Chains A and B, each alone.
Chain A
Amino acid sequence: MATLSRAQKLEAQRRMLRIRAFDERASKMVKRGHIPGTVHTSIGQEAQVVGATMALGDADYMTGNHRSHGHPIGKGSPLGPLMAELQGKGTGVCKGKGGSLHLADFNVGSLGESGIVGSSIPIAMGAALSSQVLGRDTVALAFFGDGAANQGVLYESMNMSGVWNLPVIFLCENNQYALSTPAHTVTSGVIADRAQGFGIPGVRVEDGQDILAVFDAVSTAVERARRGEGPTLIEVVTYRYNEHSEGLRLGTDYRPADEREAWLKKDPIVLFREHLIGEGFTAEEMDALEAEVLAEVDAAVEFSENSEWPDPSVGFQDLYTDSEYAA
């Protein structure tokens, strides 16, 4: 079983806390009108995100989806430019042109979040293809949800990656709802089992709130990919605590109240805090870590608030590499 060192465990908790604190702040900012548009939070899914990103190396690639802040944070992207991107500031990680749905930080291997469900899956496959053709030892991981598990392009990608033994991991974040639609009402069979049809390993992490279980499963897949043995499909069962997107109030009671209550009792950050205290960390050390992360998010918001709006001319840049826009 792949394990984390004490220092790595502390770092894992730090990253989960960053996602939680960042997204809680972003949620408030949306509701106060301080972030234009909306955001989709990863609150409740932190173990699933960080368990995966901690299993990747710095040079490894990943692509994401609309539930988009956790992935770059989990991969180590600095919070300031991410928050500035959410606010549409010129110092944003994408210069204010992507926003919440399109965070990308190529410095940490984040090749971009996607607003189109399933659309970034083959991009990760392509990054794995580069690695194979150029003889590098990097791997790529595609995050996608249970909704995207019913997009055809996932299966095109699993098939091609299987045929070519590409170093790619397909990670299904099964939070059990595609917006309002319960996964079991639109998904035939078990997602992880679909790997069998492609002759590749399919792994189901039943308790996606257990970061060590997620880390173990993804580490195994990463090692396998790095050895040149090809792709793995991993389904992680988890739960989002907030609405599909912030500010959304669905008139229907699509999620039973007791279901959410039960998952709230399995808060991945609380669970891992207890684990760390069991490993000899003190409650004071945990409290201090939480305070540090809150201060980091404060600093990120301050950085963003103090940043200028992008100059209007920025809206006409970065279409092509070699030419400026000419009306």
Chain B
Amino acid sequence: MSVMSFLGAIGAAQKEAMDADERVIIIGEDVEANVYGTTGGGKTRQETGDFVQMYGRNRIRNTPISEEGIVGAAAGAAMTGLRPIVDLSYSSFLYMAMDQLVNQVAKNRYMFGGQASMPAVFRSAMFYGLNTGAHHSDRPYPMFMNVPGLKIMVPSTPSDAKGLLRTAIDLNDPVLTFEACILWGLKEEVQDDEYWIPFGVARTHREGTDVTIVAISSSVQEALAAATELAEQGISVEVIDPRTLVPLDKQAILDSVAKTGRLVVVEPAHRTCGAAGEISAIVAEEVFDSLKAPIVRLTAPDMQIPFSPALEKQMYPNKQQIIDAVLRVTQKDKETGRLLSIG
């Protein structure tokens, strides 16, 4: 084990995959200079150099600013024997490549009757919460949940980021990974050796009996902080991170809500047609009878992201909003001390 940052863990997974399989290449803007810190040698950079020195320009492909061309090239390469990792830097740059992602990457296998496989990973960072304004702050994973054929991961810890990315690179289907920049510096002990975290398996960060919080991306850290404070007030909160949204571990969520009877879903994306809305609908359809209180969604409003720190901060659900929501769905009977549902 060693202490790794979120970004370091991603770099470590990329290095492992590059070492393990010569068909893995990294393609994207500024990957050669390691601008975003995931194509360097990690802790041993002094000794081993960066990825270009380690793997050469044949496998580290620095590109022009041509997202549509980059994604299309990766798709064609994946269909003919390579396993590209595409670094698209900002998530809002995905829109430049929308045709390739939606019409080629997602559809080719199905449309051609299973002849194609598309082992490609498309990495992008969500720069929200960092005062980068409306063009760089997007959290667009829900709109890609609406595209059959893609798989989607939203890691929230360094160890999950490493293990999920290894799996993503080894999968024979296209994966979009959305990495929250505000998590980049998050550090924890991470296994040094290779490990793979399966897709479609949620992580229960904290077990509890009163309320289930399903949290996505950076909202996981907010939820865990809220759970700690709520525990001091005698409220037992279960915190679940789905980790992958496609496929989604529905069973883990349903089992938890069947136990607690209360659900708060937290995510940094917009409200309409978001992951929170989808998870809420699944719970309402499948375990309605278990619910003791209305489901609560905590999301960003359907609003653009402003630049000023004075304006941006309020846009994403935070610890206090989560605490308030949990208190709303749980109400202690003052006489018996038992939790009651509201309304």
Contact = CB atoms under 8 A, between A and B. Distances in A.
A127 B104 contact: no
Contact of A102 (B64, B75, B112): B112
Indicate the size class of the contact surface on chain B.
35 or more
A122 B72 contact: yes
Nearest to B82: A130
Interface string B50-85: 000000001101011010111111111111111000
Interface in A120-179: 120-134, 140, 152-153, 156-157, 159-160, 163-164
A106 B117 CA distance: 11
A112 interface: yes
Nearest to B173: A320
Interface of A: 61, 63, 92-98, 102, 104-106, 111-112, 114-116, 119-134, 140, 152-153, 156-157, 159-160, 163-164, 317-323
A121 to B, nearest CB: 7
A318 B151 contact: no
Given A133-B77, A156-B66, A121 B111 contact: no
Interface string B82-125: 10000000000000000110011000111111111100000000
Interface in B1-58: 23, 25, 58
Given A98-B113, A102-B112, A126 B77 contact: yes
A317 B108 CA distance: 13
Given A95-B114, A133-B77, A133-B82, A119 B103 contact: yes
A126 B149 CA distance: 19
B72 A157 contact: yes
B148 interface: yes
A202 to B, nearest CB: 19
Contacts of A160: 63-64, 66, 69-70, 73
A165 to B, nearest CB: 12
Contact of B69 (A92, A106, A156): A156
A91 B61 CA distance: 40
Contacts of B247: 323
B252 interface: no
B76 A126 contact: yes
A106 B116 contact: yes
A317 B112 CA distance: 11
B81 A129 contact: no
The 8 A-B residue pairs with the shortest CB-CB distance, nearest first, are A126-B76, A122-B72, A156-B69, A95-B113, A94-B113, A156-B66, A318-B114, A123-B76
B197 interface: no
A119 B66 contact: no
A130 B80 contact: yes
Contact of B82 (A96, A134, A321): A134
Contacts of B82: 126, 129-130, 133-134
B110 A122 contact: no
Interface string B171-210: 1110000000000000000000000000000000000000
Contact of A97 (B75, B103, B110, B149): B110
A94 B25 CA distance: 29
Nearest to B58: A133
Nearest to A132: B58
Nearest to B73: A126
Interface string B128-158: 0000000000000000000011010000000
B72 A92 contact: no
Nearest to A85: B113
Nearest to B115: A106
Contacts of B72: 119, 121-123, 125-126, 153, 157
B76 A127 contact: yes
Given A104-B112, A129-B61, A318-B113, 6 more contacts: A127-B77, A130-B76, A133-B25, A133-B58, A156-B68, A157-B69
Given A95-B114, A321-B173, A322-B172, A120 B73 contact: no
Given A319-B109, A320-B151, A123 B115 contact: no
A125 B104 contact: no
A94 B112 contact: yes
19 contacts: A102-B112, A104-B115, A106-B112, A112-B116, A114-B103, A115-B103, A119-B100, A122-B100, A126-B73, A126-B78, A134-B23, A153-B99, A156-B69, A159-B69, A160-B66, A317-B114, A319-B148, A321-B109, A322-B171
